[in-house]
Amino acid sequence: MDLAIDRELDDFRAMVREAIAEMLPPRIAELQKAHGGINSGHAETLEWTRILNERGWSVPHWPAEYGGTGWSPMQLYVFNDEASKAWAPDTCWGATHMCGPVIYTFGSDAQKETFLTAFREGRYFLAQGFSEPGNGSDLARLRTAARREGDRYIVNGQKIWTGGAFASEWGFFLVRTNPDVKPQAGISFLMIKLDSPGVTIRRIPQINGDADLCEVFLDNVEVPAENLIGEEGMGWTYAKFLLDHERTTSSFIFYNKRELARAKALAAAELIDGKPAAEHPEFRSRITRLEAEVTALEWSVLRELANEEFKYDRTAAASTLKVVGSRLQQAVTELQVDLLGPRALRFHAFEPEDRVDAGPLWPTHAEGRTANALIARASTIYGGTLQVQKGIISKLAFGL
Amino acid sequence: MDFNLSDLQRMLLDSAERFIGDHYSLEHRRALRDTADGIDHSAWQTFAELGWLAILVPEELGGLGGAMTDVAVLAGALGNRCVREPFTGTAVLAATILAGAQSAQDAVVESLVAGQARIALAHDEPGERYADSAPRHSALVAGGPGFVLSGQKMMVLDGPTATHFIVTAQGPEGLTLVLVEDGADGVARSDYALYDDSRASDLTLSGVTVGAGQILATGEAAQALLSLALDRARVTLAAQSVGSMEAELEICSAYLKERQQFGHPIGKFQALQHIMADMFVATHQARSMLYFALSRLEQPASVRERAVALARVHIAEAAQLVSRQSIQLHGGYGVTDEYEVSHHYRRQLVLEKQFGDIGFSLARASA
C-alpha cells in the first residue's frame, strides 16, 4: 500500500497549469465561472477545443493513434483537475467522451476519419439522442424506428433531453432497426445530421431560465446507411460500452471540488449580521461535512484510477461514484444558495446582454448560483437515476 | 499510488482473518463478557506471538517498525468481529508514546511486545470532554525522592486489565506524561463494563510516588507526543469501524436472502435493496476516507490533525447509518443480544466516543 501521490505528478501538474493559464482566453474562463454549469457556451466550448487541439490536448484520453496524449490515468486526472480549477469549459462531452470512444472502438475506417477528426478539432457540437418521452430509465424499449431501404435508413420517432441539439450539427442516436427481437437486440447506433429534412428541434424551457435541453422530432428522415456505427442490432451493447467506458467521470469530482471551493469563498465574502457566513457555526459544520464527503469521493476516484483490487463487482463501485457525485452536486450548490440567503432569489438571465450590472449590492459572485443549483436537481436523474444506481448496486454487490 | 496490500500486509491480513474468524465467534465473545475482566488472555498471547503488538514498535526496541497502514489492515479484521481486546490502547497509543519517551523504557516495551504489559491512557478528568490540550487538574509536584502525583481520572479504557497507566498531569514543566504501575501505592481503581462489553476504570491517584525514570515526556514534547498518539489511535478506531461496516454488509445481505415475508425473501423488496445500496455507498466512502487519513499521518501536525478529524466525522456518521440500518433490516431480532448486528451497533457506539466523538471532530475540523 502506498498512499502518497507520486512526486513526478507535481511537475506534470505545474506544467499543465502553466500551459492552461497561457492558452485559456480570460473571456471563456469568465463565462464558465459565471455559469459554472456543464453546458455553458457552445461556441466557447468549441473554441477551447480548437485551442487545446493546437497543442494536441483536445482528446488526451483517446488512444494515441487517434490523437490521445498517452498520459496515464493519474496524469489525465491532474490535467482535468487543473483545467477545472482554471475555469476552462469541458470539451463537447458527447463527442469526446461518449461517441468518440464508440467510433474508435467499433466504427469503420471512414467513420473514424470523418468523425474522430471533427470531434478532435472541435468542428461542431454533437447531441445525444437516447431518451424518449415514453422511455427514460426503461431505455431498452425505445421506439424511434429506423427502417432500412436500400442504402439508407428512414427514421421516425421522437427523442427528448437532447442537450444542446439546437446548437449541434450532428447527433448520435439509438434507434430500433428490428422490432421483432427482444428489445435490447433490436437497437442500432446511428449518426444523424441534424439539418436533414424531417428533423425538427424544439428547445425546452428549464427550471433555471435556460433552455439547453431539447426535443428532437424525426419525421421520415433519410439517413445514409454508412452512418450506422458498427453492426446493426449492436446499439445497446455500444451504449452500455460508452456508459461504462469512463468509470470515474460520473463522480463530477472536479466540478464538486471547484464548487465547494466557490462555496468557501462565498462563505468568506457574504456577511450575516456583520460577520462572514464562514464564522457562523451552522455554515461551518455544513462546509466541513461537505468537504469530508468530497474528500472521500476524491479518494474513491483515486482507488478506481489506481485499479484497487475489489471484492465486489467494479460496476458497483462506479455506481457509488455516481450516487455520491450527483448528491454532492446538489448539496454543494444548495449550500451556495443558502450562503447568499435572500439575494439568491433574484432571477438572472442567461443572455449576456440581460446580465445584472455588478455593484456593491449585487456582486458578480451572486450571479448564476441559483440557476446552477436549480438545474443540479437533474444530476440524480440523468445518466441513470439515483434509484437505478441503487438497483445496480444491490444487484451487483449483493445479488439482491 | 497503490491501494493493494503488500505481500507482508497480505500475510498479516490472512493470518488475522484466519485467527479472528476461527476464534472470535459471537458465542465466544458473549462468553468472555461473563469473565471477571472481559479479555481473552490466551488470545492476547497469540496477538503477541503473531507480532501484532510489535507493529508500531521500532526495530531497535525489538519491534517490527511497521506503519499505520499495517495497523489499519489488522484493525479492519478486528472490527470485522467486534474484537474488543485492548489493542488500540496498548499497541498503538502506548507503543507510540513509549517509543518517543525521553526516558528509556526498553523493559516495558519488551514486555508490551511479549504480551505481558498492557498499558492504558489515563487522560480524561471530570467536568471536561476530550480535553486535547487543556491544563490537567491532576498534578505532579516535587516531593520525596522525586515527584508525587495526585488527581482523579475517569473512563480509562481497558483500565481493569492494564498493568501500567500513562497518566497525563500538570507538572513543573507543563503537561507531563507519567508511567504509573497498576497497584502502586496510592493508585485506586474503580472498574466497570461498557455497552460493548469492554471494560474501563476510574482512577484515583493519591500521592503516588514517581521517579524520574517514569517521566515519559514534558511540556511541548509531551503535547506533541500525546497528540500524535491520539491521532494514530483515532485512525485505528476508524479502521475498526470500517471493518465493522464491511462485516455488516455481509451479515445483512445474507439475512435478506434468507428471511421470508409475504412469501418472498425480503431482499426482493426494493425498499430494502435501496437501504443495502445506501449502506454499500457509505461503507465504500468510509474506506476511502480511511485511506485519506492514513495518507496524512506523517505530515505536519496541523495537517494531520485536521485530516484525522475530517475522517472521524465522515467515518463515524457512515458507521451510524450502517449500524442503524443493519438493525432495521433485521426487524425485532436486530435489538436482541442473539444477533451480531446488535453487537456491531454497540461496538460502533464505543468506537465513536473514544478519543473524540463526532461533535468534537466536527469542531476540530472546522477550526
Interface test with B, best of A2, A72, A287, A288 (most B CBs within 10 A): A288
By mean pLDDT, which of A29-33, A109-113, A243-247, A378-382 is the weakest?
A243-247
Structural contact between residues B167 and B122, judged by C-beta atoms closer than 8 angstroms: yes
Residue A243: what pLDDT? 78
B251 CB neighbour count, 10 Å cutoff: 17
Q: Distance (Å) from the C-alpha of residue B264 to the closest C-alpha of chain A?
A: 12
Residue of B nearest to A304 (CA): B3
B160 inside 8 A of chain A by CB = no
Q: Measured between beta carbons, which residues in chain B are less than 8 angstroms from residue A296?
A: 285-286, 288-289, 292, 314
Q: pLDDT digits over B314-356, tens only? A: 999 999 999 999 999 999 999 999 999 999 999 999 999 999 9
Residue A40: what pLDDT? 64
| Mean pLDDT of the residues in chain B | 97
Q: Distance (Å) from the C-alpha of residue A73 to the closest C-alpha of chain B?
A: 11
A378 inside 8 A of chain B by CB = no
Q: Distance (Å) from the C-alpha of residue A245 to the closest C-alpha of chain B?
A: 21
pTM of the model: 0.96
A296 inside 8 A of chain B by CB = yes
Residue B250: what pLDDT? 98
Average pLDDT over residues B195-207: 97
Q: Is B106 helix (H, G, I), strand (E, B) or coil?
A: helix
Residue type, B105: Q
pLDDT band, very low/low/confident/very high, at A353 (cuts 50, 70, 90):
low
Burial A342-355 (b: 16+ CB within 10 A, else e): eeeeeebebeeeee
Structural contact between residues A75 and A12, judged by C-beta atoms closer than 8 angstroms: yes
Q: Distance (Å) from the C-alpha of residue B1 to the closest C-alpha of chain A?
A: 5
Q: Measured between beta carbons, which residues in chain A are less than 8 angstroms from residue B292?
A: 295-296, 298-299
From residue B16, give the alpha-carbon distance in Å to each of A62, B23, B68. 43, 10, 16
Interface test with B, best of A77, A257, A295, A319 (most B CBs within 10 A): A295
**Going along chain B, which residue ranges are E strands?**
119-122, 139-143, 146-157, 164-171, 174-181, 187-193, 199-210, 215-218, 260-261, 264-265
Q: pLDDT digits over B148-177, tens only? A: 999 999 999 999 999 999 999 999 999 999
The CATH architecture annotation of domain B221-366 reads Up-down Bundle (1.20)
| Among the partner residues B277, B289, B317, nearest to A295 by beta-carbon distance | B289
From residue A370, give the alpha-carbon distance in Å to each of A27, A210, A336, A366, B96. 22, 12, 8, 8, 50
Q: Measured between beta carbons, which residues in chain A are less than 8 angstroms from residue B274?
A: 387, 390-391, 394
Q: Measured between beta carbons, which residues in chain A are less than 8 angstroms from residue B9?
A: 1
Spatial neighbors of A353 by CB under 8 A, at least 6 apart, are none
Residue A39: what pLDDT? 55
Q: Measured between beta carbons, which residues in chain A are less than 8 angstroms from residue B311?
A: 292
Average pLDDT over residues B125-136: 89
Q: Measured between beta carbons, which residues in chain A are less than 8 angstroms from residue B273?
A: 390-391, 394-395, 400
Q: pLDDT digits over B212-244, tens only? A: 999 999 999 999 999 999 999 999 999 999 999
C-alpha cell at A277: 457566513
Residue of A nearest to B273 (CA): A394
| Among the partner residues A1, A387, A395, nearest to B3 by beta-carbon distance | A1
Residue of B nearest to A287 (CA): B366
C-alpha cell at B231: 491521532
Q: pLDDT digits over A114-166, tens only? A: 999 999 999 999 999 999 999 989 999 999 999 999 999 999 999 999 999 99
Q: pLDDT digits over A306-332, tens only? A: 999 999 999 999 999 999 999 999 999
Average pLDDT over residues B302-309: 98
- Tell if the CB–CB gap between A302 and B1 is shorter than 8 Å: yes
Q: Measured between beta carbons, which residues in chain A are less than 8 angstroms from residue B310?
A: 288, 291-292, 295
Spatial neighbors of B342 by CB under 8 A, at least 6 apart, are B327, B334, B335, B336
Q: Is B302 helix (H, G, I), strand (E, B) or coil?
A: helix
Q: pLDDT digits over B2-34, tens only? A: 999 999 999 999 999 999 999 999 999 999 999
B4 inside 8 A of chain A by CB = yes
Q: CA B289, CA A61: separation in Å to the nearest integer?
A: 27
| Among the partner residues B249, B284, B294, nearest to A320 by beta-carbon distance | B284
Q: Measured between beta carbons, which residues in chain A are less than 8 angstroms from residue B267?
A: 398, 400
Angle at A24 between CA A21 and CA A28, to 5 degrees: 135
Residue A313: what pLDDT? 92
- Tell if the CB–CB gap between A3 and B362 is shorter than 8 Å: no
- Tell if the CB–CB gap between A398 and B249 is shorter than 8 Å: yes
Q: Distance (Å) from the C-alpha of residue B305 to the closest C-alpha of chain A?
A: 14
- Tell if the CB–CB gap between A400 and B253 is shorter than 8 Å: yes
pLDDT surpasses 80 at A378: yes
B26 inside 8 A of chain A by CB = no
Average pLDDT over residues A365-380: 93
Residue A38: what pLDDT? 56
Q: Measured between beta carbons, which residues in chain A are less than 8 angstroms from residue B277?
A: 323, 389-391, 393-394, 397
The CATH architecture annotation of domain B119-217 reads Beta Barrel (2.40)
Q: Measured between beta carbons, which residues in chain A are less than 8 angstroms from residue B5?
A: 1
A328 inside 8 A of chain B by CB = no
- Tell if the CB–CB gap between A288 and B362 is shorter than 8 Å: yes
| Mean pLDDT of the residues in chain A | 94
B7-113 placed in CATH 1.10.540.10: yes
| Domain boundaries along the sequence of chain B | 7-113, 119-217, 221-366
Q: CA B18, CA B74: separation in Å to the nearest integer?
A: 12
Per-residue three-class SS string for B24-71: CCHHHHHHHHCCCCCCCHHHHHHHHHCCHHHCCCCHHHCCCCCCHHHH
Residue A294: what pLDDT? 98
B7 inside 8 A of chain A by CB = no
A114 CB neighbour count, 10 Å cutoff: 17
Q: pLDDT digits over A223-240, tens only? A: 999 999 999 999 999 999
Q: Measured between beta carbons, which residues in chain B are less than 8 angstroms from residue A317?
A: 284
